[in-house]
Structure 1
Amino acid sequence: MGAWWDRYPDELRKEKAALDALGYPWSIDQAAMDAGQMVVRVDVPHEGGVLALTAIYPDTFPYFAPMVTTDSARFQRHQHPLGRNLCLLAREGEDWSPGHDSLATLIEEQLPAILEVNSSSAVPEVVAQTEDHVGEPLSSFLPYVPECAIIVPDETPPADVPSGRLSLCLRTTPAGRSAQCFVNGVVGSIDDMQGKPLVTFKKSIPSFDRPACGFWLRLNERPTVGTFESAGIDLFKLVEGKLPPLTKAIQAAKRDEVFVVGLTYRDEVSWRHSADDWVFLAIQVVRETKRSRPAEIRPHIVRADWGGEKAWLRRAPFLTPLRKKTALVVGLGSLGSPIVLQLARAGIGGLRLVDDDNLQVGNTVRWAMGWQYAGFQKLSALVLHVATDYPYTSVRSFNHMRIGALPNPPAGQPSQYDILKQLVTESDIVIDAAASYRVSHFLSDLARELGKPYLWLTTTHGAAGGVVGRVQPSKKMGCWHCFQRGLADGSIRLPADAGTDEVQPGGCSQPTFIGAGIDSDAIANQAARLAVATLCSGEEGGYPDFAWDVAVADLQRGGFSIAPEWTPYDLAVRQDCLDCSAQA
């Protein structure tokens, strides 16, 4: 395909006409155009001189805006500190209107706002109304090593401590990256230079299994960097000579040895709000010290990734109440496994998991995870995955527990009932994904006995429909038995059912239903939402609750797939329910 001006010749004519109408001197870089790149230069009068602009058009123009840079002026705000491009459009160009906007409209309509914001006579109230309310920390603009990051806690070291040591846990370098710098891990503790801990971050992540040491340095101000190419060296110059133990370690290092140094400093982390920020250097020794020749180093810039609880939950603050909650999930199949992951993603404080089944490759068409866990106990796979990906959630697992199965444990050991009673007692909700009528009967009664919310979910043949429901002892409402009576007399409708036969795949001791995760996940996801809402009920600022207690879903109708259609119900006390009437 040709260049954009060959595809859309009218757009090129419109660009030229708009620039002519603008009235400023402009020119096209013909050499760049011959090479397939549209570059336009425009001289804009500014403060008695000329602001020289260079516009580089993407090959996807006019759908995306030109990038406008200037080397003739340095602005404190709304200019990339390294690339010198101007932020003429907010939100990465979302305000660009293809077919209407042009380079001339950017210069005429957007450039004056940048010049006003950066003027020495700018009025703060006008600036606040003019500019997009987005912070511009230096860390947003730096060139980082791909796939490298250091996870840091919410807290930073005290401002009166100038430097110190880092305790790190790093990921092992992947195969094929031995010649490239690779630093990926988490800060375990931030210490002073004598090793006294100042900040600890005790998050054990199995994949970060290589202990390492590093250093940190507090800068008095936001660092200044020149270009993308020089940024690493510019930052290293701020470190050089300020950390004697680092200097000594580098001089004694072997080729390809890497030292991690964190730089912390005050910066604008959100609009007009300053706080400590981090950037890390991975200082790689490319030639070791030999006689009087000093070591040759190459500094790489590594991204800081904020992983403290406050930073982590800022995207969903209404989930904060879950940090103090624990859920018991019984049954970790196609419905229970995605619920476990959704609750861990939501930041629940604790999970108690019960199951007695192995994961087979065939399960993965509807199980929460894939082939790498084939042969694992489903419970073991989930425990490992949660520990690796959601370290803020603690997990206790109870494997090889098939509720109601014999034989009973030997005398003197806790019975299955004792274990389950203890689990329900220490949990804030019981989630029943076992898809067993007898198990549901038992768990619903045990939860009622102990005054705990009980939530259940099921799906139908073909995963054509499903049900989610809950009982909240704190409210005057019906129970699981009331729900069963509602199904029996039709006051609660049945979900859609594809009527498919069950199958018994190789290696399975029991037949199982036919259905795919793309359907059953809709049931599990709604159940997870209901569980989170129940756990946050009554908590200020928590996830909003639902106005119903039972919902029946259809995912198919008349042989066609449909958008999930839910019918909600209040779970009212039934007079013919012996359990509820006995308690009334």
Structure 2
Amino acid sequence: MEPWFIRYPKRYRREKSELRDAGFQAREALLAKEAGIIQLHVDFFHKGKPYSVVVEYPTFYPYMPFQMVSKDIPKGRHLGEYGGAVCFLEDVHQNWEPHYTLAHIIDTQVRGVIDRNLEPSDDPTKEGLYASPASGHIRYRDNCGILVPNFSIPEGHRYGHATLSHGPHVNLKKTPSGHISKVTGTSKQDVLYTVGDDLPNLAGVDPMQLKNQGVRWVRLDRPPAAADDGILDEAIRAWPELEKPNYRNGVDITAIIFQEESTYKCKQVAWVFVVREKQLGVTEPLYFNVRADILDPQIVIARTSRTKPLTGKKVVLIGCGALGSTIGFQLGRMNLNHLVLIDGDHLKYGNLPRWIAGASATGRDKVSVLRELITDANPMINVTTHPLKFGDINQREPEQEMLNDVFDADLIIDATAEFAASHLITLLAKEHAIPCIHVSATNGGFGGIVGRYMPEPEAFCWSCMQEALYQERPEFQDDDYRIRLPATEPGEPTEVRGCFHPTFIGTGFDLDAISMQAVRLAVATLCRGAEGAYPDLDWDIAVIDLWDEDKSIPIDPKMTTYRFAGAHRLCRKPHE
């Protein structure tokens, strides 16, 4: 692709002429231009003082913003901790507009940066009141990361030891990852922190398969002054013992801990890891930095604050097929306390277009695979699995254990796609005063139904819905309790190799639209009555069309919703 100044010669001339007209002295780096890069050194005066900036234009200028660094602009909130990057817009990727030029930015923004750095203000009309964490500007190796606890080491401890726990396939020389499971003081017997039961799935693997790596840590009084290998030099000055690498598995790992701004004018602990890799035949080891991420449930809740009432809730999902696997994964990523998965089937290769795992999972229990996916996405959730077909015969002992899990739930979700199982599940839910959500899809993925059934004796139930669906027949004309049927593809389900029963035709992405409505209804049900939470929906039954039956073409989702005041007049038994 041609450089931007070749593609847009008029814009290139405009940049230079505006700088000249503004009285700015601009020098172009010729070697950079020969390589297809425009780099300008610009000198200007502000309030009688000289300043200089270096600007490099991106390939896709003017649609993407240039980068600017300066050694002259006074230190402050709008100058990067390392390298002197100038923050000339509140959010450069959101606020940049293609008509901006360098001369315009210097005049309208950079002058303000100088003033604000010299005289900081808490006035949000003058500047964005956001944090600028130093750890975000350090240079790290790609594809690496270590989770650290949301824990402050007592001030009296300046250095010590820690344990990095990681999975069996982690290569510490190439892509270190894992979590800090233990922190001690100078003496390894002085335990300051150990990972607790609140993080049951932190490693994403069986705890028996975990490997541990020794780490040394040191505290700095301020963020590191360097952004690269020099970080370790500061650590060594704080604790000289670090100068000699303590190699294990070919690497030495040092954790550097310091206070930094996490939110505006609020400081919290930050971690950076430095890995020294032992090189054969080479005196000096290879250094690289590894980023840390704080393991704090509140960080997750802050991004999904309306789901805060889910904390402490228990949900049972029965059926982990095309609909249920998506429902389970989405709910599992939320801040639920406990999710129970029930399904007696194993994953087959033919399931993959409508499932969320890959070919390596074929042959395994669906509930086991789904549990791994969920706990990897959310290590703070408890997930119990029952690889059983709900209501099947000859499984009485494990079935009783499963039922014990079901009957103390806050919500039951039926995604079995089986009439008999749905009838039983919804009936048991009502008997045990547990709200229940039922979800099903039609042949071809043309449509589906999502329904909520509350446990009150006279509340509309699953059996009521079956009666209301039959109102489509001409002999029934009870307009108050009629539910239309969802769109369905004509024809019979298909039987494919590897399946013991016929299966419907349909795509995963069509079915996901139905699963997501079930997830929204589940979250709304669990949050009912909580202030500031995810609002309740104004319906209990939704009939969803994703295809036009007559034309056999996909359409924008069409949803007809219903809410009934009480039980259907023809449905008595569940209400007796």
Q: TM-score, normalised by structure 1?
A: 0.90
CA RMSD of aligned residues (A): 2.4
The alpha carbon displacement at 1:17 in A equals: 2.2
Distance 2:507 2:491 in 1: 13
Query: Where in structure 2 are there 5+ consecutive unaligned residues?
Result: 473-481
Amino acid at match of 2:66: P
CA-to-partner distance for each residue in 1:323-363, whole Å, 9 max, x for gaps?
20111111111011111101111132111121111111111
Where in structure 2 are the equivalents of 1:106-505 lying within 5 Å?
106-119=105-118, 122=119, 124-126=121-123, 128-172=124-168, 181-195=174-188, 196-202=190-196, 203=199, 204-207=202-205, 209-225=210-226, 228=227, 231-232=228-229, 234-240=230-236, 242-243=238-239, 246-247=242-243, 250=245, 253=247, 257-286=250-279, 296-399=284-387, 401-407=388-394, 409=396, 413=397, 416=399, 418-473=400-455, 477-490=459-472, 491-505=482-496
Secondary structure in structure 1 of the residue aligned to 2:210 = strand
How many residues end up aligned between the 2 structures?
A: 557
SS of equivalent residue, structure 1 residue 113: helix
> Aligned-pair distance for 1:112?
1.5
Q: Counterpart of 1:559?
A: 552
Alpha-carbon distance in structure 2 between the residues aligned to 1:507 and 1:581: 38
Segments ≥4 residues shifted beyond 6 Å: none
Contact 2:82–2:225 (CA under 8 A) maintained in structure 1: no
Q: Distance in 1 between matches of 2:566 and 2:85?
A: 66
**Distance in structure 2 (CA, Å) of the matches to 1:58 and 1:241:** 39
Measured after TM superposition, the shift of residue 194 of structure 1 is: 1.9
The match for 1:292 is none
Q: In structure 2, give the amino acid aligned to 1:124.
A: S
Deviates more, 1:529-538 or 1:458-467: 529-538
**C-alpha distance after superposition, 1:369-411 (max 9, x if no partner):** 2212111121221123223332212121111x223333464xx
Q: What is the alpha-carbon distance in structure 2 between the residues aligned to residue 162 and residue 246 of structure 1?
A: 13
Structure 1 distance, partners of 2:458, 2:150, is 42
Q: Decide which moves more: 10-19 or 418-427.
A: 418-427
Quote the Cα distance in structure 2 between the aligned partners of 1:80 and 1:452.
54
Post-superposition shift, 1:163?
A: 1.9
The Cα shift of 1:49 comes to 3.6
- Give per-residue Cα distances to partners, 1:70-121, cap 9 Å, x unaligned: 22345222122323221112223322211x21111111111121011111xx
Aligned partners of 1:482 and 1:572 also within 8 Å: no
- Please say if residues 358 and 376 of structure 1, whose CA atoms lie closer than 8 Å, have aligned partners that are also in contact: yes
The question of whether the paired residues in 2 share the 8 Å contact of 1:505 and 1:511 is answered with yes
Give distance in 1, aligned partners of 2:4 and 2:277: 43
Aligned residue number for residue 91 of structure 1: 91
Conserved in 2, the CA contact under 8 Å of 1:169 and 1:185?
Answer: yes
Conserved in 2, the CA contact under 8 Å of 1:113 and 1:131? no
Would the alpha carbon gap of residues 269 and 355 (structure 1) be closer, same or farther in structure 2, given more than 3 Å must change? same
User: Hey, what's the Cα distance between the residues in 2 that align with 1:344 and 1:392?
Assistant: 10
Tell me the percent identity.
Answer: 30
Does the CA contact (< 8 Å) of 2:449 and 2:542 recur in 1?
Answer: yes
Distance 1:563 1:578 in 2: 34
Q: Is the 8 A contact 1:288 1:296 kept in 2?
A: no
1:34 and 1:564 map into 2 onto residues whose CA distance is 53
Matching residue's letter, 1:431 = I
User: Which amino acid in the other structure matches residue 392 of structure 2?
Assistant: A
Q: CA deviation at 1:287?
A: 6.3
Q: Would the aligned equivalents of 2:15 and 2:102 in 1 still touch at CA under 8 Å?
A: yes
Q: Which amino acid aligns with 1:199?
A: Y
Contact 1:329 1:430 in 2 (8 A): yes
